[in-house]
Amino acid sequence: DAGVIQSPRHEVTEMGQEVTLRCKPISGHDYLFWYRQTMMRGLELLIYFNNNVPIDDSGMPEDRFSAKMPNASFSTLKIQPSEPRDSAVYFCASSLGGKNTEAFFGQGTRLTVV
């Protein structure tokens, strides 16, 4: 397996534009996590899914952020409209089971909003 695949690797966009980040989890993994990493706040969990269903979105910063998982092999994180403070590295991770199992991370998407 190629691991968790994220696209794009880098995204530069203007403030106010819509941004969509994409993730393909490892095949067979039932859990998918979206994290955000910044110098200010470190690595924060935004939302996670189990069997394509959102379980906990308490980490989503505000209504401008939304995430979907239409099937077991694809998830998106959308920011609309984007703001400069959204600039960060966004990671997707997946795991075989949820509790007490390791999560495998993708390479991340570095988002810069100017």
Partner 1 sequence: GESVGLHLPTLSVQEGDNSIINCAYSNSASDYFIWYKQESGKGPQFIIDIRSNMDKRQGQRVTVLLNKTVKHLSLQIAATQPGDSAVYFCAENTGSGDKLTFGTGTRLAVRP
70/97 Cα distance (integer angstroms): 19
Q: Minimal CA–CA distance to 13: which of 76, 87, 75, 78?
A: 87
Residue type, 78: K
What distance in Å separates the CA atoms of residue 2 and residue 49, rounded to the nearest whole number? 21
**Min. distance of Cβ 45 from partner 1 in angstroms?**
5
Q: Rule CB under 8 A: which residues touch partner 1?
A: 4, 31, 33, 39-45, 48, 50, 55-56, 91, 93, 95, 97-100, 102-108
Nearer to partner 1 (CB atom), residue 33 or residue 65: 33
CB of 30 to partner 1, least distance (A): 10
Q: Which residue has the tokens 């969990």?
A: 45
Residue 82 CB, nearest approach to partner 1 (Å): 19
